[in-house]
Amino acid sequence: MHSIGNVNGQPVICIIGDTEIPTFLNLSEEEKEYALRLFSEKRNTVFINSYKKFTALVRIKNDLPIFRQHEELRKAAVELRSDIINSGFKKIMITGFNAESSMVTAFTEGLILSFYKFDKYRKQKPGEKKLPELIIVNADIQEDDFLWLKNTCEAVYATRDLINEPPRKMTAHAFAEAMKHLGTEGGFSVEILDKNRIAALKMGGLLGVNSGSAEPPQFCIMEYKPLNAVNSNPLVLVGKGIVLDTGGLNIKTGNYMDMMKTDMAGGAAVAGALCVIARSGIPLHVVSLVPVTDNRPGPEAIAPGDILTMHNGTTVEVLNTDAEGRLILADAVSYASKYDPMLIITIATLTGSAAMAFGNAASAMMGTAPDELMNSLIKAGEEVFERVAPMPFWDEYSESLKSDVADIQNIGEREGGAIIAGRFISSFTSYPFIHIDIAGTGMLKKDDQYRTKEGPGTGVRLLSAFARNLANNLKTQK
């Protein structure tokens, strides 16, 4: 690595691959001894602060797998967050020594994502100082990787903003307008279907869930199709867009409604992922679909016992109006067939069952796609540490969805609920299908390191990394 010159007096964070202290940091012998002593005590982050000087050393945990090393660096960034902000410096340099460039970008990613705050509605802002500009110096980072880092962090911020908006602001119409804005900024096409066009397509699931609302539904169609796309059949991403879930006539009780403005986190995630893919120029044809509505107990709301006719003609007996996400996703998945997709991925804050199974440590993953694609999604999850946990998807889980009065009913047995919900959605397509349930990871009650509470933006980094890896694999096969 090249010298970065005299940094004496300059704020710098150095990611180091061992315990050797780089000379370019210009630390005194006393400061070096202090750092080495802490390293010997198994400390991996050392902060040295003196008059007009800010130096932080972050040691890589070389005894861990690479993807865990990256995550530990993201978490180390959170440890330094307050010191960095309180330092008062306008610029902070980040560099590496005996460290791969990916280690530097992982730390930087964790730091940027930890800076996020949603405070636009606060009359008095929190008393934190202005965030410093981060400058990566001589870390041998390729331009494409730097662009990916920038695009990813910006997309996660945009996704978090969408999720955190209050229900009166983030209505179905407002969500659709936000998609148009993202398309303009991100470089992909956006088409919004209004209620009349949704009705013409006979999307009975979306219309049924919307029937209790004072505002009409929207169906967002976003597409990125570069001229150099390596896939002849598109990847279709489908996200749940329930901007507020009251449960409908099966209304949520207690405090179960408190976080339900975040029930469109899946829809926001597929839009955010498309932003990353398009702005980074990934040579992959990708379509993102988001059916959007709230779920309210209005005068015309669907009731348990109602029967809906879906986009593909299937009839559904509604036994619980709080199992609404699968109804709108089913219409979107059915609509996705028009693209003859290579793969359909749905992502949704869908079931408490998934949250109970994995908490916020992993998202539930299931589906009919080939093992190669499922394993690729698992790998992408490890890469960005938005891990997915495979669940069985046996035919037997569909047994409890059989209805006496319709083709299918919208809920089954409580046991295995996450899988049963996935089986319901999968019955509306014959294409390779993966379902990701982010009920435990897409809405948090408190900050989880650099993942902020309520709207962490789960799925943006996962789906983006999966798409990039998929494009690379397809290019290799050609």
Question: Is-catalytic flag, 195?
Answer: no
Which residue among the candidates 81, 252, 379, 453 is catalytic per the annotation?
Answer: 252
Tokens 């299931």 identify what position? 366
pLDDT above 70: residue 155: yes
pLDDT score for 26: 86
Q: What is the pLDDT of residue 456?
A: 95
State the pLDDT confidence band at 129, using cuts at 50, 70 and 90: low
Residue 112 scores a pLDDT above 90: yes
Q: Active-site residue among 326, 423, 451, 468?
A: 326
Rounded average pLDDT over 151-164: 97
The tens digit of pLDDT for each residue in 315-344 reads 999 999 999 999 999 999 999 999 999 999
Give me 92's structure tokens: 């902070």
State which CATH number among 3.40.50.300, 3.40.50.410, 3.40.220.10, 3.40.1260.10 fits the domain covering 12-136: 3.40.220.10
List pLDDT tens digits, range 383-433.
999 999 999 999 999 999 999 999 999 999 999 999 999 999 999 999 999
Per-residue confidence band for 3, with pLDDT thresholds at 50, 70 and 90: very low
Model pLDDT for residues 191-225, shown as the tens digit of each residue? 999 999 999 999 999 999 999 999 999 999 999 99
Homologous superfamily of the 150-477 domain (CATH):
Zn peptidases (3.40.630.10)
Give residue 6's pLDDT: 40
As a whole number of angstroms, the distance between CA 314 and CA 398 comes to 15
Tokens describing residue 70? 């990256």
pLDDT of residue 87: 80
Q: How big is the CA angle at 407 (ends 402 and 412), to the nearest 5 degrees?
A: 30
Question: Percent of the chain beyond pLDDT 70?
Answer: 96
Q: What is the residue extent of each domain of the chain?
A: 12-136, 150-477
Let me know: does 211 contact 331? Beta carbons within 8 Å.
no
**Cα distance between residue 81 and residue 110, in whole Å:** 10
Tens of pLDDT, residues 47-77:
887 666 789 999 999 999 999 999 999 999 9
Determine the average pLDDT of the residues in 35-41.
91
Least confident segment among 6-15, 38-47, 86-95: 6-15
Residue-wise pLDDT for 307-323, tens only, equals 999 999 999 999 999 99
HSE value, Cβ hemisphere, 13 Å, CA-based, for 132: 25
**Confidence class of residue 290 from pLDDT cuts 50, 70 and 90?**
very high
* Common-topology check for domains 12-136 and 150-477: no
Q: Which residue has the higher pLDDT, 242 or 123?
A: 242
Query: Active-site residue 168, yes or no?
Result: no
Residue 125's pLDDT is: 67
Beta-bridge partners for 451: 448
pLDDT at residue 128 tops 90: no
pLDDT of residue 48: 86
pLDDT of amino acid 52:
66
For residue 268, what pLDDT is reported?
98
Q: Which three-class secondary structure string do you get for the chain? A: CCCCCCCCCCCEEEEECCCCCCHHHCCCHHHHHHHHHHHHCCCCEEEEEECCEEEEEEECCCCCCHHHHHHHHHHHHHHHHHHHHHCCCCEEEEEEECCCHHHHHHHHHHHHHHCCCCCCCCCCCCCCCCCCEEEECCCCCCHHHHHHHHHHHHHHHHHHHHHHCCCCCCCHHHHHHHHHHHHHHHCCEEEEECHHHHHHCCCHHHHHHHCCCCCCCEEEEEEECCCCCCCCCCEEEEECEEEEECCCCCCCCCCCCCCHHHHHHHHHHHHHHHHHHHHCCCCCCEEEEEEEEEECCCCCCCCCCCEEECCCCCEEECCCCCCCHHHHHHHHHHHHHHHCCCEEEEEECCCHHHHHHHCCCCEEEEECCCHHHHHHHHHHHHHHCCCEEECCCCHHHHHHHCCCCCCEECCCCCCCHHHHHHHHHHCCCCCCEEEEECCCCCCCCCCECCECCCCCCCCHHHHHHHHHHHHHHHHHHC
